[in-house]
């Protein structure tokens, strides 16, 4: 079964005795190694599938892995195999151990919007920078496994002390809501395992072999979890690539790669350097660019797929022209090479860059699909429905209460809610409970009191049925009862209302499907949903469409022909990263972008760009100068509106000159 693997891949699969780190370059077949290793563990090493866990970062990666293992061996022998994201594993742990953690079985999972709202309430401010700072500081503390108390004790200055207090208050609020946030899903199990060795032992016996995908993206907390679960045996395989570490801003610690060596002296390291994806020109470009970063492990990608086309670097006047050019070139290329739309991807640094591209693609009738950006579960109408479900599952969930009680409008507004909130805070109960307090009746007008009683009664009635009856049907009944469809059409134009209602129906259908497949009840589903960001079961790959994606969301994917747009100083590398000295991570982002391409790569940048309605002159990205200059073809206004091949002789200096001269050029 190992014959389809190259030497280092085979070695990685066979190594079972101790901890293993696989340094897998882009396109070097890391998923193949992980899936084959799962099969190997079961078929050759007599592991029971239920003792193996493969951990990924995205649901998509988990799904793909599950599917690929399924093709490799008899699904019957895979029964009980854990293939999940860090966060769903965390959810599984928190659910199983809710009692030891002091949580009700039906706690809520708050999304980041809820977290932001809670933190701005605590800060009592509307200052966006302040809120943003607090949110990221708290998240960073959590990811670094610092408890609120530790943060209070360790605070070095007034500012840190302030953040620590906000952190403390935030955590208390979450507990009062019986809610956890994303970071808690990892942090709480780690905390518990540290406190209760018996519980840890139980889970160590359950998960005896761990395979971790995208190891370079793990944060301090996640690393601790891995260390706890694998214990001193260190039975795990970590697969990662330091050059593709692009989530430091989210707490990912590349240092975990170094720590692995330190904490597990018997660590075996295997490098995968043969690339099965790209032409050697593309790999040369990737290697050269990333060569400008300091290295923890030396690594050089190579392939046997031929030289390939030169890399195009195109300068455009502004983003409109850039989008138009991409659309035109794409169509021409497709016609010439008889390819399909799915062979193309357009990659960019920030989500907002997609808008211009979208409109030009639409003009040319080019079908496209956007990955990244707003997910299905972030849409207002879906969050409305989920608000109801969260409240049904957990009546202490105040954010859900507010959302549900005001959507659709039922005669309860801000004034009433503020009174209710005041009473709830005073008595230290949830909003839902406060409605039933005798003193509440005297606080508000009869009509509002009546409306709230009716509302709570309604939620209670659904609640009593939610853990018994099938999800879809009950959800449908609830939507009818609250006249959700009517409300959508009343509060919007017919067309968007129709789209929204369709989305809701899709959610219902999804509940039906999950109930059928996994026997999940309405309650089960409600908890899991917060973790699902990508559309499941939607024909992502079936439709023939060009992919639009952020560089971040493109990691792990590959496309025949890639357009990498907006390669300008301030965009890629992003200004905030330049300012905070994080250019190395931006370079890795560039590296990720380049290595998505299999056969052709077109890089574009603009001379000027509209920012907040204002035009500003921009400079080409420094990364363009880092490309191997004899492998690229420069065209556009810069080269006098005609293609110019920059030869080896002309060299780097000439291109540097051309690029540098651009910014000082007078406007055409």
Of 413, 457, 537, 661, the residue at the interface with DNA (CB under 7 A) is 413
Nearest approach, Cβ of residue 373 and DNA (Å): 7
Kindly tell me which of 44 and 112 has the beta carbon lying closer to DNA.
112
Which residue is associated with the tokens 């942090």? Answer: 187
Of residues 582 through 611, those in contact with DNA by CB under 7 A are 610-611
Among 24, 42, 286, 531, binds DNA (CB under 7 A): 531
The nearest distance, CB 602 to DNA, in angstroms, is 21
Instruction: Give the C-alpha distances (Å, rounded to integers) separating 150 from 122, 165, 174, 318, 485.
Output: 20, 11, 18, 50, 49
Q: Does 250 bind DNA (CB under 7 A)?
A: yes
Rg (CA), the chain: 27
d(CA 345, CA 367): 12
List the beta strands (DSSP E) in 286-372.
Answer: 311-316, 344-348, 368-371
Whether 165 is catalytic? no
Q: Which of 400, 89, 394, 106 is nearest to 221 (CA)?
A: 89
Instruction: For residue 156, indicate whether it is catalytic.
Output: no
On whether 202 is known to bind a ligand per the annotation, the reply is no
Sheet of 644-645, strands arranged across? 368-371, 546-550, 344-348, 559-564, 597-606, 311-316, 632-636, 644-645
**Which runs of consecutive H residues, i.e. helices, occur in 467-562?**
471-481, 484-490, 494-518, 522-529, 551-554
CB of 417 to DNA, least distance (A): 7
Q: How far apart are CA 94 and CA 180, in angstroms?
A: 10
Nearest-angstrom CA–CA distance, 652 and 453: 74
Residue with tokens 């193309």: 344
Nearest residue (CB) to DNA, 108 versus 550 = 550
527 binds DNA (CB under 7 A): no
Q: Is 651 annotated as a binding residue?
A: no
31 belongs to an annotated ligand binding site: yes
- Dihedral of CA atoms 618, 619, 623, 627 in degrees, nearest 10, equals 130
Identified catalytic residue from 56, 244, 521, 629? 244
Q: Of residues 351, 453, 499, 503, which one binds DNA by CB under 7 A?
A: 351
Is there a binding annotation on residue 142?
no
Q: Encode 126-186 in three state secondary structure.
A: CCHHHHHHHHHHHHHHHHCCCCHHHHHHHCCCHHHHHHHHHHHHHHHHHHHHCEECHHHHH
Closest to DNA by CB, 292 or 351: 351
Examine residue 128 and tell whether it contacts DNA (CB under 7 A). yes
Binding residue (CB under 7 A) for DNA from 156, 266, 414, 442 = 414
The contact pattern for DNA, residues 49-88, with x = CB under 7 A and - = no contact, is --------xxx-------------------------xxx-
Q: What are phi and psi of 610, to 5 degrees?
A: -90, 125
CB 318 within 8 A of CB 609: yes
Residue 29 annotated as binding site: yes
30 annotated among ligand-binding-site residues:
yes
Task: Examine residue 375 and tell whether it contacts DNA (CB under 7 A).
Answer: yes
CB of 410 to DNA, least distance (A): 6
Between residues 273 and 485, which has the closer beta carbon with respect to DNA? 485
Q: Which residues pair with 42 in a beta bridge?
A: none
Tell me if 28 is assigned to a ligand binding site.
yes
Does 117 participate in catalysis according to the annotation? no
* Shortest Å, Cβ 354 to DNA: 9
Could you tell me the smallest distance in angstroms from the CB atom of residue 553 to DNA? 4
| Residue 552 binds to DNA (criterion: CB under 7 A) | yes
Closer residue to DNA, CB minimum distance, 112 or 467? 112
Active-site option among 106, 587, 596, 599 = 596
Burial 245-262 (b: 16+ CB within 10 A, else e): bbbbeebbbbebbeebee
Looking at the Cβ atoms of 45 and 576, the one nearer to DNA is 576
On whether the CB atoms of residues 316 and 325 are closer than 8 A, the answer is: yes
Residues between 160 and 219 with contacts to DNA, criterion CB under 7 A? 182-183
3-state helix, strand, coil in the chain (%, to 5): 55, 15, 30
User: Is 30 among the residues known to form the active site?
Assistant: yes
Q: Is 25 annotated as a binding residue?
A: yes
CA–CA dist 348, 371 (Å, integer): 11
Min separation Cβ 383 and DNA, Å: 13
- What one-character-per-residue DSSP string does 253-268 give? -THHHHHHHHH-TT-E
Using rule CB under 7 A, residue 365 touches DNA: no
Q: Is 155 annotated as a binding residue?
A: no
The single residue among 490, 516, 536, 544 that binds DNA, judged by CB under 7 A, is 490
User: Pick the catalytic residue: 9, 30, 397, 622?
Assistant: 30
Query: Both tokens of residue 305?
Result: 């797929």
Member of 308, 372, 566, 620 binding DNA (CB under 7 A): 372
x/- mask, DNA, residues 321-350, rule CB under 7 A, reads: ----------------------------xx
Q: How far apart are CA 314 and CA 325, in angstroms?
A: 9
- SS (HEC) of 511-531: HHHHHHHHCCEHHHHHHHHCC
Q: State yes or no: residue 613 binds DNA (CB under 7 A).
A: yes
Give the burial class of 134: count Cβ atoms within 10 A of its Cβ; 0-12 exposed, 13-18 middle, 19 or more buried. buried
Whether 516 is catalytic? no
Does position 261 bind DNA by CB under 7 A? no
Binding of DNA by 410 (CB under 7 A): yes
Binding test (CB under 7 A) with DNA, winner from 53, 391, 412, 523: 412
596 catalytic residue (yes or no)? yes
By CB under 7 A, residue 612 contacts DNA: yes
CA 335, 336, 338, 344 torsion: positive or negative? Answer: negative
Q: Nearest Cα to 297, choosing from 238, 221, 224, 228?
A: 238
Q: Which residues are catalytic?
A: 30-31, 213-214, 244, 596
Binding-site residue set: 24-31, 277
Footprint on this chain of DNA (rule: CB under 7 A): 57-59, 85-87, 112, 126, 128-129, 182-183, 246, 249-250, 349-352, 372-373, 375, 406, 409-416, 448, 490-491, 531, 533-534, 550, 552-553, 574, 576-577, 580, 610-613
């Amino acid at each position: 079964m190992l014959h389809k693997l190259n030497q280092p891949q085979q070695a990685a699969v066979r190594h079972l005795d101790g901890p293993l780190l696989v340094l897998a370059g882009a396109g070097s077949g890391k998923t193949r190694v992980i899936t084959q290793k799962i099969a190997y563990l079961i078929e050759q090493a007599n592991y029971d599938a239920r003792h193996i866990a493969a951990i990924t970062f995205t649901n998509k990666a988990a799904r793909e892995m599950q599917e690929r293992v399924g093709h490799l061996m008899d699904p019957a022998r895979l029964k009980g195999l854990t293939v999940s994201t860090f966060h769903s594993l965390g959810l599984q742990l928190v659910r199983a151990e809710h009692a030891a953690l002091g949580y009700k079985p039906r706690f809520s999972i708050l999304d980041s919007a809820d977290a932001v709202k809670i933190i701005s309430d605590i800060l009592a401010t509307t200052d966006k920078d302040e809120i943003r700072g607090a949110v990221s500081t708290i998240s960073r503390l959590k990811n670094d496994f610092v408890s609120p108390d530790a943060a209070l004790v360790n605070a070095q200055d007034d500012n840190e002390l302030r953040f620590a207090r906000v952190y403390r208050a935030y955590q208390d609020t979450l507990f009062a809501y019986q809610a956890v946030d994303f970071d808690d899903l990892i942090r709480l199990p780690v905390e518990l395992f540290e406190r209760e060795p018996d519980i840890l032992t139980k889970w160590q016996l359950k998960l005896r072999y761990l395979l971790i995908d995208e190891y370079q993206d793990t944060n301090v907390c996640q690393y601790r979890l891995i260390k706890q679960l694998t214990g001193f045996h260190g039975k795990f395989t970590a697969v990662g690539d330091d050059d593709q570490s692009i989530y430091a801003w989210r707490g990912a610690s590349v240092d975990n790669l170094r720590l692995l060596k330190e904490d597990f002296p018997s660590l075996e390291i295997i490098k995968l350097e043969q690339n099965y994806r790209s032409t050697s020109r593309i790999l040369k470009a990737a290697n050269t660019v990333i060569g400008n970063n300091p290295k923890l492990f030396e690594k050089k990608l190579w392939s046997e797929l031929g030289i390939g086309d030169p890399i195009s670097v195109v300068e455009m006047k502004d983003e409109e022209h850039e989008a138009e050019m991409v659309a035109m070139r794409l169509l021409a290329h497709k016609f010439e090479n008889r390819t399909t739309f799915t062979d193309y991807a357009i990659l960019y640094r920030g989500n907002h860059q997609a808008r211009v591209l979208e409109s030009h693609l639409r003009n040319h009738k080019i079908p496209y699909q956007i990955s990244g950006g707003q997910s299905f579960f972030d849409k207002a109408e879906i969050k409305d429905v989920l608000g109801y479900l969260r409240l049904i599952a957990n009546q202490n969930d105040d954010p859900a209460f507010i959302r549900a009680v005001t959507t659709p409008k039922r005669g309860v507004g801000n004034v009433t809610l503020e009174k209710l909130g005041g009473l709830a805070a005073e008595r230290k109960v949830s909003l839902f409970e406060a409605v039933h307090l005798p003193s509440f009746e005297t606080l508000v007008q009869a009509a509002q009191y009546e409306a709230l009683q009716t509302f709570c009664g309604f939620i209670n009635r659904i609640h009593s049925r939610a853990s018994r009856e099938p999800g879809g049907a009950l959800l449908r009944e609830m939507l009818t009862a609250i006249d959700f469809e009517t409300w959508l059409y009343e509060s919007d134009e017919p067309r968007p209302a129709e789209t929204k209602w369709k989305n809701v129906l899709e959610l219902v259908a999804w509940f039906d499907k999950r109930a059928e497949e996994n026997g999940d009840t309405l309650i089960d589903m409600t908890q899991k949903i917060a973790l699902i960001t990508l559309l499941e079961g939607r024909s992502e790959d079936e439709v023939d469409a060009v992919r639009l994606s952020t560089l971040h969301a493109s990691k792990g994917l590959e496309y025949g022909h890639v357009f990498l747009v907006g390669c300008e100083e301030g965009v890629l590398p992003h200004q905030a990263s330049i300012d905070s000295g994080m250019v190395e991570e931006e370079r890795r982002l560039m590296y990720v972008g380049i290595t998505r391409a299999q056969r052709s790569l077109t890089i574009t940048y603009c001379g000027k760009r509209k920012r907040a309605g204002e035009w500003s002159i921009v400079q080409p990205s420094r990364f363009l100068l880092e490309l191997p200059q004899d492998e690229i073809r420069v065209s556009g206004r810069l080269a006098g509106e005609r293609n110019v091949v920059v030869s080896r002789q002309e060299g780097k200096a000439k291109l540097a000159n051309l690029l540098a001269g651009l910014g000082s050029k007078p406007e055409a």
